[in-house]
Amino acid sequence: MEKAVIQFIIVGVFSGLTKGAGVLPDGPLNETLGGTMAFNATVIPPEQTFSFVQWQFGDKIIINTATGVTADYAGRVTLFTSTGSLELRNLVLNDSGEYNVVIISQDGSRNSGNTTLEVYERISGAAVTSSPNRPIEGISVNLTCDAAAGSISLSRLWKKNDSDLILTDNMALYEENRVLSFKSLNKTDNGKYSCEISNPVSNDVAQYIMIVNYGPENVQIEGPSKIDSGKTLTLTCSAESEPSASYTWTLNGTEIHSSSVFTKVISGFSDSGNYTCQAMNHITERTSSAVHQVTVTGIQGETSGCSAGCIAGIVIACLAVCAAAGGGGYYLYTRK
Ligand SMILES: *[C@@H]1O[C@H](CO)[C@@H](O)[C@H](O)[C@H]1NC(C)=O
Ligand SMILES: *[C@@H]1O[C@H](CO)[C@@H](O)[C@H](O)[C@H]1NC(C)=O
Ligand SMILES: *[C@@H]1O[C@H](CO)[C@@H](O)[C@H](O)[C@H]1NC(C)=O
Ligand SMILES: *[C@@H]1O[C@H](CO)[C@@H](O)[C@H](O)[C@H]1NC(C)=O
Ligand SMILES: *[C@@H]1O[C@H](CO)[C@@H](O)[C@H](O)[C@H]1NC(C)=O
Ligand SMILES: *[C@@H]1O[C@H](CO)[C@@H](O)[C@H](O)[C@H]1NC(C)=O
Ligand SMILES: *[C@@H]1O[C@H](CO)[C@@H](O)[C@H](O)[C@H]1NC(C)=O
Ligand SMILES: *[C@@H]1O[C@H](CO)[C@@H](O)[C@H](O)[C@H]1NC(C)=O
Ligand SMILES: *[C@@H]1O[C@H](CO)[C@@H](O)[C@H](O)[C@H]1NC(C)=O
C-alpha cells in the first residue's frame, strides 16, 4: 500500500517534468483584443513561497522575481508570487504566441510550463453582399459574407430560412465559405440567407433576403371576344412577374392605355380589332405580350352616341330645312 503511493508520486513528478506544459493549461488560450489574460500556474503541491519565478514571451523576459518587470510590459502585468500566476492586461494582437514560466521552490525543485495565447479582435459589422446586385432568374449570383472588423482566423456558417444550408447542384461554396455561389438562379432559391462569422472570442450574423426577379411570363388577357356597341368593354391583363409587371395596351399597333385593366364604352365597329397587352418587368428588362381579338356586334351602336331627344332634334331640323327649301323654291318659281 505504502509502495503504491510512493510510485504514484514519482510517476506524477516524472511526467510533470517531461511534459513541460505541466503547470500551465493546454493552449491555445483565446482572448479578446484589449482584454485581460490570467495565466494560472498550478504547482502541485502548492508552495507558500517560491525562491524564483520567471515568465517569458518566446525568448523575451516579461517579469521575474529577481529583476522585476521588463520595461515593455510595465503597467500591463501582475505577478502573483504565491501561486506563480501572471495577469496580462490590455492585450494587443502581437501578444499572441508562446508563454513560458519557470518556478523554483525553496527546496530547489523546479517546475516549468508553457502555453500559447491567441488574441483576437472582436468580430463586428458582418454583412452579406450580392454580386451582381440584382438577383435575376437564370443568372449566376454570388453572396459574399464579410466582417468589417475581426477578420482573423474566422469561420463562417451559412443558413437558409434558419436551417442549415443544404447545397443543391446549383450552389457551391468558395473561399472557405466566404462566397455562396448560385450557378443559375431559380425561384426556388428565394428565402432568408444568414451567414454567421465567428472566431474563438466572438461572432456576428448577417442576413440577406433573396427575392429572385423573374418574368414577365404567362401573360393572359381576360375579357369578351364579342361585344355590342354601347356596352362597356373591360379587358384585364395579368402576368407572372417579380417585381410586378407594368402593362401597355395597343389596338392595331396604336398605344391606347397603360395599366393592367382597360375599359372603354364601345362606340362602333372601329373598336374592333386585336388588343395587345405587353407586360414589362423593369428589373429583368424583359417583355412579354398576349393578343385578344374583340369583334363589335350590333348595329344600333352606330347611333348610340345620340339620345332620343337628339334624334328628335335632327328630325325637326330636317323638317324645317325641307320646308324652307320647298317654300323658297316656290317663291323663286313665282318671281320668275
Ligand atoms: C512547450 O511544451 C511542449 C510540450 O507540451 C514542448 O514540446 C515544447 O518544447 C515546450 N516549448 C518550450 C518553448 O518550452
Ligand atoms: C481556443 O480556440 C481554439 C480554436 O481556434 C480551440 O481549439 C481551443 O479549444 C480554444 N481554447 C480554449 C481554452 O477554449
Ligand atoms: C484563471 O483563474 C481565474 C480565477 O479562478 C479564472 O477566472 C480564469 O478564467 C483562469 N484562467 C484561465 C486561462 O483558465
Ligand atoms: C506589439 O506591438 C506594439 C505596437 O503595435 C509594440 O509597441 C509592442 O512592443 C509590441 N509587443 C510585442 C510583445 O512585440
Ligand atoms: C463567384 O465567385 C466565384 C469564386 O470566387 C468566381 O469564380 C465567380 O466568377 C463569381 N461569380 C460572380 C457572378 O461573381
Ligand atoms: C427551378 O427549379 C425547379 C425545381 O428544381 C425546376 O423544375 C425548374 O426548371 C428550375 N427553373 C429554372 C429556370 O432553372
Ligand atoms: C424560405 O422562405 C421563403 C420566404 O419565406 C420561402 O419562399 C421559401 O420557400 C423557403 N424555402 C425553404 C427551402 O424553406
Ligand atoms: C383595327 O383593326 C380592325 C380590323 O382590321 C378594324 O375593324 C378597326 O377599325 C381598327 N381599329 C382601329 C382603331 O384602328
Ligand atoms: C388579329 O389577329 C388574328 C389572329 O391572330 C389575325 O388573323 C388577324 O389578321 C388580326 N387582325 C388584325 C387587324 O391585325
State the amino acid at position 209 in one-letter form.
I
Ligand 2 center from residue 30 Cα (angstroms) = 6
pLDDT at 21: 58
Q: Which of 227, 255, 257, 270 has most ligand 8 atoms within 8 Å of CB, for mutation?
A: 270
| pLDDT of 334 strictly over 90 | no
Q: Whose CA is nearest to atom 1 of ligand 7?
A: 191
Ligand nearest to the CA of 99: 1
pLDDT interval class at 49 (50, 70, 90): confident
Are the C-beta atoms of residues 165 and 182 closer than 8 Å to each other? no
Cis peptide before 216 (omega within 30 of 0): yes
Are the C-beta atoms of residues 195 and 145 closer than 8 Å to each other? yes
pLDDT at 68: 95
| pLDDT of 176 strictly over 50 | yes
| pLDDT of 328 strictly over 80 | no
Cell of 84: 506563480
Domains and CATH numbers, the chain: 2-120 (2.60.40.10), 127-212 (2.60.40.10), 215-299 (2.60.40.10)
Ligand 7 center from residue 166 Cα (angstroms) = 13
State the amino acid at position 164 in one-letter form.
D
Is the overall model pTM greater than 0.85, yes or no?
A: no
CB distance 114 to ligand 1 below 6 Å: yes
3 state DSSP class of 286: strand
Ligand 5 atom closest to the Cα of residue 141 is: 13
Query: pLDDT tens digit string along 142-154?
Result: 999 999 887 777 8
The arrangement of strands across the sheet holding 226-228 comes to 226-228, 286-297, 273-281, 246-251, 254-257
Dist. CA 75–CA 89, nearest whole Å: 8
Name the nearest CA neighbour of 165 among 153, 179, 151, 154: 179
Dist. CA 223–CA 236, nearest whole Å: 7
The arrangement of strands across the sheet holding 85-88 comes to 37-39, 85-88, 77-80
Q: Whose CA is nearest to atom 1 of ligand 1?
A: 114
Cell of 321: 330645312
Phi then psi dihedrals of residue 33, to 5 deg: -50, 130
Residue 274's contacts (CB-CB under 8 Å, 6 or more residues apart) are 251, 252, 291, 292, 293, 294
| pLDDT of 139 strictly over 60 | yes
